[in-house]
Structure 1
Amino acid sequence: MRTGTRIVAAAAGLMAGVVVLAACAGSAVGSSTEESGEAVDEIMIGALHPLSGANAADGQQMSNAAQMAVDAINEAGGIESLGGAQLVLEAADTRGEPETGQSEATRLIQEGAAALVGSYQSGTSANIASVAERSSVPFVMDVSALDSILEQGYTYSFRIQPSASMMGTQSADYLAEISEASDTPVTQVGYLYEQGNFGESAYQAFAAQAEQFGMTVDPAISYDPASSDLSTQVQQVAASGAQVLAVSGYYNDGLAIARAVSSIAPDLDAVFGVANGGYDQPRFVTDAPNGGENYFDANYHWDVTNEASVALSEQYEEEFGEPIRTSAVLTYDAVMLIAQAIEEAGSSDTAAIRDAIAATTYEPLVVNDGPVSFDETGQNSNASVVVMQVQEGSVLQVYPEDLAESPYLYPAPVG
């Protein structure tokens, strides 16, 4: 069986139990159905991602994945409850700019988008969410961690991934469990975090949860993620006597910290990424000292133990010549979830689609503690992280045990 065929089958399987589905959504005109009485040939979904600028590599993957989801649904027969209505994807370039994201979201809604997905940067998603709310059009965030986006009382915005605070809390849980199970319980953690809202939120949540396990978080140091040399901050952690260094940041600053650790503090019990944008990336293994061996990262990730996730990964690499990133899998999930909602609503009406999204029990391809289930704020309450570790040149899932490809190593000095 071709991998692409497996993806279409997986698309239908993911939605089974609610309806026989492999469909997606947008605005419409066309043939009416006996069930709904609606005349719908096509439904538009607007996808907003940074297709240019510093994050274009992720943005292009996310746009590609959105199109793959739409194609899988259409190949499997479209939206059956609307007589086989086809999905149409309109991709917009946010350029990673909140103002551009806002104007592009407005344009897509004016052109008839029945739902929006995006957008990678939290600042951009915050602006899109405000537009979606004013326009009463559902917006499903694939990647955007900032807690405050969903603290505005919005009813049309939803987030699949864990928030920054959820990732901080779960990371503290997992570090405590791993270290205690290894008979080397952590009592002191040094924490370096990028100075933006994301880093601050992850740190605050981690520190609060760590206290419950008797772990002191000290020192805690914020830094400019544009810095190329973070050795002073690493030296402060090394001098403090902390057993573990936790790091919340992005790729380049995470790599700068890894280089400093290699020369200053290689004998730490562990370097533990908390929603770190670097330590679970395949290129980190190439760029980091000692191949990044033993580095941990607790982060959202596509589930490598899920057959449908693996099939999607294989199809993506076959079509685009590179490994799929978790951000792209989250986009695929977001479009599939919207499709399921349209199928269940049997309507292209945005309020009906919104209500179906709010009530979803979608089974995602990313790691999740059960089906997607949105709370009253629009946050997926079952969103979860998984602990990954670099082992012998590969980034592997290692904890919790039911998601592990390999046992974790702890203590895990990186020198």
Structure 2
Amino acid sequence: MRARNFVSVIAAVGAGVALVSGCGQGGASGSSGDSKVIKIGTLHPMTGSNAGDGAQLQHGAELAVKKINDAGGIKALGGAKLELDAGDTKGTPDTGQSEAQRLVSDGAVALVGSYQSAVSANIAAVAERNKVPFVMDISGDDAILSHGYRYSFRLQPQNSRFGATAAQYIKDITKSKGRPVTKIAYLHEATAFGTGVYTAFKSEAQKLGLAMGPEITYDAASVSDLTTQIAKVKASGANILVVSGYYRDGVLAAKAVQTVKPKLDAVIGAADGAFDQPQFPTDAGSAANGYFDVNYHLNDKSAEAKAFADLYQAAYHDKARASAGFAYDSVRIIAAALERAGSKDPGKIRDAIAKTDLNPLSLSNGPVTFDEKGENTAGLPVLTQIQDGAPSVVYPDNLAAKTIVYPAPVQ
């Protein structure tokens, strides 16, 4: 999905506020020095192989800014309006780093981003060096917050949570259904994201007595076909395939599984960027049927989350992914911090973010709160499954909207 010009989007949803959301264009529409404007820098892959995901995140941030500005802006600062200054990371760490420094130099009081963990690691270093708060909407690598940073905060659960939780859920489901695991093959993209989730999954799986088969990797940025990798899964004799990747390569994996037809009881994502998304059944077709994912998910029972999804659909003529909700919440967290701080000073904003107590759009264990490392203590991985052409939560039982279908063999 290509990012649309935000001026036309604002018109579509009836807004009267002009926001800067260009992909890496820089600047602030002539508002530099305007005390009634507060810049927030966004850093997402707006071009490259993950541009569709970057657009979702950027759009989520835009909608949050619109809502806040339409409600009167930051009241503690005399109704000052928020304005996005958008940076295009192009999905590369070096570009993310240089764009982050540009946004800070241009006056951004806080940063939001960035989808890829390797990129966010560099942005976090820039944020710390410049003492500007950075709220990570999507980026799971545990190592990012292992350096004692004070200015970086993560909204989504970290990779180790996803990996360990996925192993536990597989153990629970296969035991309850009386269909034991014979061997688990694991396919993942090869950066810190996929490798981190795999490492945590393998460690937990071994503790639980789950037999591990081959680890198969690929380059998400360049891969155009995954049939060779899925052929290795078939040859391994595994009855479960676990996948950790991004959206585009997740669709490729599903199509390859349908082509190669390994004898699987299930394909289960562990923080996979495709298998729980509303667009996945459309893009993967019948190959999507029955796919599971252990991931974050919008709270389908929340009136605010439903309103967000409806607004997103009206504005962008596309279904909102859960990641867009995290970007939306990241901007809300910064706006709430500005209200508490009553100041545009980044240090004071940072201290106010550390005291966040905000109900998110995603399923969670309570309001967003950050621990001393900057991790969201309420983040909650849930298990979804594609049923009747859409992802639904199926586990844990207390959050389930539908009953698990297992085994769910390739069709």
TM-score band by shorter chain is 0.7 to 0.9
TM-score by length of 1: 0.85
Deviations 1:205-244 (A, max 9, x none): 0111122322122222333444445444434433444321
**Number of matched pairs:** 383
Counterpart residue identity of residue 148, structure 1: A
Q: How far is 1:287 from its partner?
A: 4.2
Q: What aligned pairs does 1:357-368 form with structure 2 within 5 A after superposition?
A: 357-368=353-364
Task: Work out which of the residue numbers 84, 96, 105 in structure 1 matches 2:100.
Answer: 105
What residue number does 2:122 align with? 127
1:96 aligned residue: 91
Q: In the alignment, which of 367, 379, 389 is matched to residue 393 of structure 1?
A: 389
The amino acid across from 1:389 in the alignment is: Q
- What do residues 59-107 of structure 1 show as CA deviations (whole Å, max 9, x unaligned)? 2232222121112112222223333332222222223232332222222
Confirm or deny that 1:149 pairs with 2:144.
Answer: yes
Give me the whole-angstrom Cα distance separating, in 2, the residues matched to 1:279 and 1:261: 13
- Counterpart selection for 2:253 from 239, 257, 264: 257
* Paired residue type of 1:184: R
User: Residue 29 of structure 1: CA displacement?
Assistant: 7.3
Q: Which amino acid aligns with 1:151?
A: S
Quick one: distance in 2 between partners of 1:53 and 1:243?
34
Contact 1:48 1:101 in 2 (8 A): yes
CA root-mean-square deviation: 2.5
Q: Which residue of 1 aligns with 2:275?
A: 279
Q: Distance in 1 between matches of 2:171 and 2:350?
A: 39
After TM superposition, the structure 1 stretch with the greater mean CA deviation from structure 2, 220-229 or 323-332, is 220-229
CA distance in 2, matches of 1:166, 1:379: 11
Shift of 1:401: 2.5
- 8 Å Cα contact 1:187/1:214 also seen in 2: no
Say if 1:258 and 1:289, in contact at 8 Å, map to a contact too.
no
Q: Secondary structure at 1:87's aligned position in 2? A: strand
- The runs of 5 or more residues in structure 1 that have no matched partner are 6-26, 31-39
Distance in 1 between the 2:360 and 2:239 partners? 36
Equivalent positions of 1:274-353 (< 5 A) are: 274-288=270-284, 290-353=286-349
Quote the sequence identity (%): 49
**Structure 1 residue 340: deviation in Å?**
1.1
Question: Which residue number corresponds to residue 239 of structure 2?
Answer: 243
Q: 1:255 to 1:67 in 2, by over 3 A?
A: closer
Structure 2 residue aligned with 1:81: 76
Relative to structure 1, the CA distance from residue 318 to residue 217 in structure 2 (aligned partners, 3 Å threshold; closer, same or farther) is: same
In structure 2, the CA distance between the partners of 1:239 and 1:338, relative to structure 1 (3 Å rule), is same
- Contact 1:43 1:87 (C-alpha < 8 Å) held by counterparts: yes
For the residues of structure 2 that align with 1:117 and 1:126, how far apart are their CA atoms? 13
CA gap 1:251/1:59 in 2 versus in 1, 3 angstroms: closer
Within 5 Å, which residues of 2 pair with 1:199-210? 199-210=194-205
Q: Deviation per CA, 1:305-364: give whole Å up to 9, x if none.
A: 222111101011111111112221111010001111111222222111111111212211
Q: Residue 189 of structure 2 contacts residue 219 of structure 2 at CA under 8 Å; is this kept in 1?
A: yes
CA contact (8 A) 2:231 2:262 kept: no
Structure 1 residue 284: deviation in Å? 3.2
The 8 Å contact of residues 49 and 96 in structure 1, kept in 2 or not, is answered as yes
Secondary structure in 2 aligned to 1:211? helix
How far apart, in 2, do the equivalents of 1:395 and 1:124 lie? Answer: 28
Name the SS for the 2:257 alignment partner.
helix
**SS at 1:288's partner residue?**
helix
Please say if residues 290 and 414 of structure 1, whose CA atoms lie closer than 8 Å, have aligned partners that are also in contact: no
Q: What letter matches 2:250 in structure 1?
A: G
Question: Structure 2 stretches of 5 or more lacking a match?
Answer: 1-12, 15-30
Q: What SS class does the counterpart of residue 175 from structure 2 fall into? A: helix
* Alignment check: 8 A CA contact 1:262 1:289 kept: no
> Are 2:401 and 1:405 aligned?
yes
Q: Which residue in the other structure is 1:217 paired with?
A: 212
